[in-house]
Amino acid sequence: MRASRWGIVLWSVLIVILVFVEVAEVTHLFTLPIESAFYGDPTTFVGALVFTTILALVGAVYIGIYVSARLLRTQGFTPFEEEMLRMRAEIRDIKAAVDRISAAETPPSEVPPARPPTGGTP
From its phi and psi, is residue 116 left (phi > 0), alpha (psi between -120 and 50) or beta? beta
Flag whether 86 is in a domain.
Answer: no
Flag whether 117 is in a domain.
Answer: no
Domain of residue 11 covers: 7-39
CA angle 85, 71, 52 (to 5 degrees): 120
- If one counts the domains in the chain, the total is 1
Flag whether 21 is in a domain.
Answer: yes
Position 23, amino acid? V
The pLDDT score that the predictor gives to residue 85 is 94
C-alpha closest to that of 36 among 27, 24, 48:
48
Using the predicted structure, report yes or no on whether residue 1 has a pLDDT greater than 60.
Answer: no
Flag whether 19 is in a domain.
Answer: yes
Q: Please state the pTM of the whole predicted model.
A: 0.35
Flag whether 48 is in a domain.
Answer: no
Flag whether 102 is in a domain.
Answer: no
| Signed CA dihedral, 35, 40, 43, 45: sign only | negative
Flag whether 18 is in a domain.
Answer: yes
pLDDT tens digits, 59-111: 888 888 888 877 777 667 778 888 999 999 999 999 999 999 988 876 656 65
